[in-house]
Chain A
Amino acid sequence: MDLQAEEGHGISLKQINVNDELQHKRRYIMRGAGGRRNQSRQSRRSGRSFMLFMAPSFLGVLLFVLLPFLDVWKRSFTTAVTGQFNGIRNYQTIFTNQAFVLAVKNTLRFTAVCIPILVVAGLIIALPLSKLQNAGLVKSLYLFPLAMPTATIVIVWKMFFYKQGLLNLFLTQLGEWTGLWGEIHKDYLGSGAAFWVLVFSYVWKNTGYTVVLWLAGILGIPNEFLEAARVDGASGGQIFFRIVLPNLKGSLYTIVILSFLNSFKIYREAYLVAGAYPEQDIYLLQHLFNNWFVNLDFDKMAAAAVCVGGFLFAVIMLLQHLWDRDEA
């Protein structure tokens, strides 16, 4: 902070100290009769400024998100066409709807597989990177897929994972070379393997994001901790498990939350590779929502939006709570 102030943004460090002192004195004098009033005037002023700066954003959020979501909540209890009150029947419908159950199952499976892989892969890459002097280029390489639009990369994935594609060509050649297996004609996009293509694509795209978050966490661990442990004769493994990992809990929560958020965007790849009705294993909640939307099934969509939104809200709150508890 001193640096910023000293760099000449109009106010010098000395001034700040003087002003602080002045304020102290003033507060000291005011305490008693007028102090309270002065304080409340100040808080009222900051309340007014808060509202002025906040207003455009909040009104927009209110109009475009909050109020319409209330409408969705209301609609989840009515029929789609006539708008009659329907009780919890929409909810009953979606939970007995096979497509919904399948989509929920697949979406959960996808996150349950992807997030651990991403979290661990990110950490494995971030640890040596944190010790490297010039990690810039490596980091850029890992981050680059983030910049690649999905529509451009899907063409390449198709060439690789297509039934007559390059992966099968490579595997066949490997088989010929080792003599272990013959020609391979697996259709990775039209079978259960499509799930793993999506996993690969997700990890490919998001590893850089995770690495940067882990790096920030690792570099945030005070060096004294590590020095002290080393002086006390702790081994590399001990330092990692007893000092580095416990100090990265905060990063872990964030990474899990953000990876979860990003995992919903895999729909782009899934849709571009396999369309609106893909192979059963990669039929995700996002497909279902989109298809309901196209077919104007707003009653089911409303009930499902309320359920998924509520579930995500609960998960976020749980992670936040765990995090708070750890910090306390």
Chain B
Amino acid sequence: MTTKTQLWTTAKGWFRKNQYGKSVGQGLTMLLLILPAVLVVLPMLFLITGSVMGNGELKQYLSPIFAEGTEYISWKLVPDYPTFEHYGKLLFMTPQFFVLFWNSMKMVGCILAGQLLVGVPAAWAFAVYKVKSGRVLFALYVVLMLLPFQVTMLSSYLVLNRLEMLDTPQAVILPAVFSTFPVFLSYGGFRGIPMQLFEAARIDGAKESTIFLRIGLPLGKSGLLSAMVLGFLEYWNMMEQPMAFLEDKALWPLSLYLPEITWSQAGYAFAASVITLIPAVFVFVWGQDYLEQGIIYSGLKE
């Protein structure tokens, strides 16, 4: 009994001692680093190596997929004969790929621009003008933001059908422009601004629109920028909406086209994936602070 307690106290003392505590903490940190690094970097590496691997090599590694055998596929993280032929084929021989790339870009660009024009003023209205009906409306916006696409799919279809917009890019763009998620995120940025600033400007005779443009936007930009970053990653990855509302494959975004590439064109699929990944990675690296801020805003209560 006593030995047990003694052991326990020694152990506790051992952990409490600064140097050991530090090394334990460092070990834990290393583990925290290594685990995600493996889980995140490995899939990325797979895509990149696959995209620079020659066709012969790919066929050799992936052949069990085509043969109904018991052999396993294999992989090498560094290809024996690296080649850029897949990128070449993609960039110079497949104009279709460009069309889809620009489809995606245009769609995301239009959606984000629309959200800025429509959603940000609404967020401003919620944050600054405390009117009675505002609270109810805000609660409604929060609920709408939380509804999944499947619940609103039929209603979107009905209205798009009536407006004769099905199978046009607007079918995907317009419903997304009126999404209430960016309103909520931008609201998070605006409500951090002290109200006295607006009061002071009003007493100095500033118009409401001036206050919005000159004080609100510069000081509350973190909210709308985080809405843009989260929005880009979301809409670059958009699948459900175009799948439901666009029949014409020439209008499809990249995210829908990629899965259509079969294993027999594995190298091409890997190269297309890497190119699809590049804008997302760029936005991620550039906007990581806003991304984090956006996540925090999304978790704020009104």
Q: Which residues of A pack against B, CB within 8 Å?
A: 1, 4-5, 9-11, 15-16, 19-20, 22-23, 43, 46-47, 49-54, 56-58, 60-61, 63-65, 67-69, 71-72, 75, 125, 128-129, 131-132, 137-156, 159, 162, 164-166, 168-169, 172, 183, 185, 204, 207, 209, 212-213, 216, 250-251, 254-255, 257-258, 260-261, 264-265, 267-268, 271-272, 285-286, 289-290, 293, 298, 301-302, 305, 308-309, 312-313, 316, 323
Closest to B214 in A: A10
* B88 in contact (CB, < 8 A): no
A15 contacts which chain B residues (CB < 8 A)?
200
Provided the pairs A15-B200, A254-B301 are in contact, do residues A143 and B288 lie with their beta carbons within 8 angstroms? yes
* B277 in contact (CB, < 8 A): yes
Let me know if B146 and A316 touch, CB within 8 A: yes
Chain B contacts with A in 258-302, Cβ cutoff 8 A? 258-259, 269-270, 273-274, 276-277, 280-281, 283-284, 288, 291-292, 295-296, 298-301
Closest to A261 in B: B146
B33 contacts which chain A residues (CB < 8 A)?
137-138, 141
Partner of B148, one of A141, A264, A290, A293: A264
Number of B residues, CB within 8 Å of A: 106
Let me know if B244 and A290 touch, CB within 8 A: yes
* B174 in contact (CB, < 8 A): yes
Partner of B273, one of A43, A128, A152, A285: A152
Q: Which of B1-9, B79-87, B91-99, B119-127 contacts A (4 or more CB under 8 A)?
A: B119-127
Provided the pairs A9-B219, A164-B64 are in contact, do residues A50 and B129 lie with their beta carbons within 8 angstroms? yes
* Most chain B CB atoms below 10 A, which of A60, A125, A131, A165: A60
Let me know if A148 and B125 touch, CB within 8 A: no
Please measure, in the bound complex, the distance between the C-alpha atom of A168 and the C-alpha atom of B64, giving whole angstroms. 13
Closest to A263 in B: B148
Let me know if B28 and A128 touch, CB within 8 A: yes
Let me know if B237 and A150 touch, CB within 8 A: yes
Partner of B40, one of A11, A69, A144: A144
Let me know if A53 and B124 touch, CB within 8 A: yes
B126 contacts which chain A residues (CB < 8 A)?
54
A148 contacts which chain B residues (CB < 8 A)?
43-44, 277, 280
Please measure, in the bound complex, the distance between the C-alpha atom of A68 and the C-alpha atom of B159, giving whole angstroms. 6
Describe A's contact surface by its main secondary structure.
helix
A54 contacts which chain B residues (CB < 8 A)?
121-122, 125-126, 137
Closest to B257 in A: A151
Let me know if B36 and A209 touch, CB within 8 A: no
Describe B's contact surface by its main secondary structure.
helix
Q: Which residues of B pack against A, CB within 8 Å?
A: 25, 28-29, 32-33, 36-37, 39-40, 43-44, 46-47, 50, 64-65, 69-75, 117-119, 121-122, 124-126, 128-131, 134, 137, 141-144, 146-159, 174-175, 177-178, 180, 183, 193-194, 196-197, 199-201, 203, 208, 212, 214-215, 218-219, 233, 236-237, 239-240, 243-244, 254-256, 258-259, 269-270, 273-274, 276-277, 280-281, 283-284, 288, 291-292, 295-296, 298-301
B32 contacts which chain A residues (CB < 8 A)?
125, 128-129, 138
B147 contacts which chain A residues (CB < 8 A)?
309, 312
Let me know if A69 and B46 touch, CB within 8 A: no
Let me know if A185 and B70 touch, CB within 8 A: yes
Please measure, in the bound complex, the distance between the C-alpha atom of A316 and the C-alpha atom of B240, giving whole angstroms. 23
A154 contacts which chain B residues (CB < 8 A)?
259
Let me know if A147 and B150 touch, CB within 8 A: no
Let me know if A19 and B155 touch, CB within 8 A: no
* Most chain B CB atoms below 10 A, which of A51, A58, A65, A152: A152
Known A150-B237, A305-B150, A305-B153; 7 more pairs at CB < 8 Å: A4-B193, A10-B201, A143-B288, A155-B50, A162-B73, A185-B70, A316-B146
Please measure, in the bound complex, the distance between the C-alpha atom of A165 and the C-alpha atom of B75, giving whole angstroms. 10
B280 contacts which chain A residues (CB < 8 A)?
147-149
Partner of A151, one of B44, B150, B157, B258: B258
Let me know if A151 and B239 touch, CB within 8 A: yes
Let me know if A138 and B64 touch, CB within 8 A: no
B273 contacts which chain A residues (CB < 8 A)?
151-152, 155
Closest to A20 in B: B196
Let me know if A65 and B143 touch, CB within 8 A: no
Let me know if A164 and B72 touch, CB within 8 A: yes
Let me know if B158 and A72 touch, CB within 8 A: yes
Let me know if A147 and B197 touch, CB within 8 A: no
Closest to B141 in A: A61
Let me know if A250 and B151 touch, CB within 8 A: no
Closest approach, in angstroms, between the C-beta of A183 and any C-beta of chain B?
7
Please measure, in the bound complex, the distance between the C-alpha atom of A325 and the C-alpha atom of B288, giving whole angstroms. 34
Closest approach, in angstroms, between the C-beta of B158 and any C-beta of chain A?
5
Closest approach, in angstroms, between the C-beta of B249 and any C-beta of chain A?
15
Let me know if B194 and A4 touch, CB within 8 A: yes
Closest approach, in angstroms, between the C-beta of B196 and any C-beta of chain A?
5
Let me know if A1 and B194 touch, CB within 8 A: yes
Let me know if A147 and B284 touch, CB within 8 A: yes
A61 contacts which chain B residues (CB < 8 A)?
141, 144, 178, 180
Please measure, in the bound complex, the distance between the C-alpha atom of A290 and the C-alpha atom of B134, giving whole angstroms. 35
